[in-house]
Structure 1
Amino acid sequence: MKYRKLGSTGLEVSVIGVGTWQFGGEWGKNFVQDEVDAILDQAGELGLNLIDTAECYGDHLSERLIGDYLARRKREDWIVATKFGHHFQGHLEREQLWSADEVLKQLDDSLRALKSEYVDLYQFHSGTDQQFDNDKLWSMLDRQVQAGKIRHLGVSISASGSGRHQTESASSVGARAIQVVYNRLDRQPEEEILPLCLQHQLGVLARVPLASGYLSGKYKPGAVFRQGDVRERHNPDTRRNQLQEVAEIAANEVPPGTDMAQWALAWCLRHSAVSAVIPGCKNVQQVISNAAAAELL
Structure 2
Amino acid sequence: MHYRELGNSGVEVSEVGFGAWVVGTDWWGDRTREQAIGMVQHALDEGVTFFDTGDVYGHGNSEELVGEALAEHRDEVTLSTKVGYDFYNNPQAGHGELPKEMDADYLRTAFDRSLERLDTDYVDLLMLHNANVDEVTPDVLELLDELREEGKVEAIGWALGPSIGWLAEGDAAIENEFDAVQVVFNLFEQTPGQHFIDTIRELDADTSVLPRVPHSSGLLNEQVTPETELDEGDHRGFRPEEWYETGWEKVETLRFLERPERSSGDGASGDEPRADPDHADGTRTMGQAAIQWLLAHDEVASVTPTFRTTDDVDEWAGASDTPPLSDAEFERVQALYADNFGIDRDDGMDALRSSVDGADLEGTGMKSAGD
TM-score, length basis structure 1:
0.91
User: What displacement does 1:23 show?
Assistant: 0.8
Matched, 1:42 2:37: no
2:166 paired with 1:167: no
The letter for the 2-side match of 1:110 is S
Q: Select the residue among 201, 208, 211 that pairs with 2:206.
A: 201
Match of residue 126, structure 1, among 113, 125, 130: 130
Q: Which residues of 2 match residues 233-244 of structure 1 at below 5 A?
A: 233-244=238-249
Quick one: which amino acid aligns to residue 224 of structure 2?
Y
The residue that corresponds to 2:293 in the other structure is 267
1:184 to 166, 187, 204: 187
> Which position in structure 2 is the counterpart of 1:218?
223
Between Structure 1 and Structure 2, the one with more strand by share is 1
- 1:97 is aligned to 2:108: no
Alignment partner, residue 348 of structure 2:
none
Between the aligned partners of 1:39 and 1:161, the Cα distance in structure 2 is: 26
Larger radius of gyration: 2
Q: Is the 8 A contact 1:55 1:87 kept in 2?
A: no
**Contact 1:157–1:179 (Cα < 8 Å) also in 2:** yes
Distance (whole Å) between structure 2 residues aligned to residue 263 and residue 16 of structure 1: 13
Q: 1:21: Cα distance to partner?
A: 1.1
1:107 partner amino acid: F
Which stretch of the first structure deviates more once superposed, 120-129 or 234-243?
A: 234-243
Matches within 5 A, 1:78-89: 78-88=77-87, 89=91
- Using the alignment, how far apart are the partners of 1:191 and 1:203 within structure 2? 12
Structure (1 or 2) with the greater helix fraction: 1
Query: d(CA) in 2 for partners of 1:104 and 1:221?
Result: 46
Separation (CA, whole Å) in 1 of partners of 2:55 and 2:5 = 25
Distance 1:222 1:129 in 2: 41
Q: CA deviation at 1:67?
A: 1.0
1:277 aligns with 2:303: yes
Question: Identity of paired residues, percent?
Answer: 28
Distance between the aligned counterparts of 2:76 and 2:58, measured in 1?
A: 25
Tell me, yes or no, if the aligned pair for 1:224 and 1:232 is still in contact at 8 Å: no
Q: CA deviation at 1:40?
A: 2.2
**Secondary structure of the structure 1 residue equivalent to 2:305:** coil
CA RMSD of aligned residues (A): 2.1
Q: Which has the higher contact order (CA 8 A, sep 6+)?
A: 1
Matched-pair contact (CA < 8 Å) for 1:180–1:206 = yes
Mapped contact 1:215–1:261 kept (Cα < 8 A): yes
Match of 2:9 in 1: 9
8 Å contact from structure 1 (residues 84, 124) kept in 2: yes
**Which range moved further: 234-243 or 53-62?**
234-243
| Mapped partners of 2:169, 2:21: distance in 1 | 23
* Cα distance change of structure 1 residues 44 and 222 upon mapping to structure 2, 3 Å threshold: closer
Counterpart residue identity of residue 79, structure 1: T
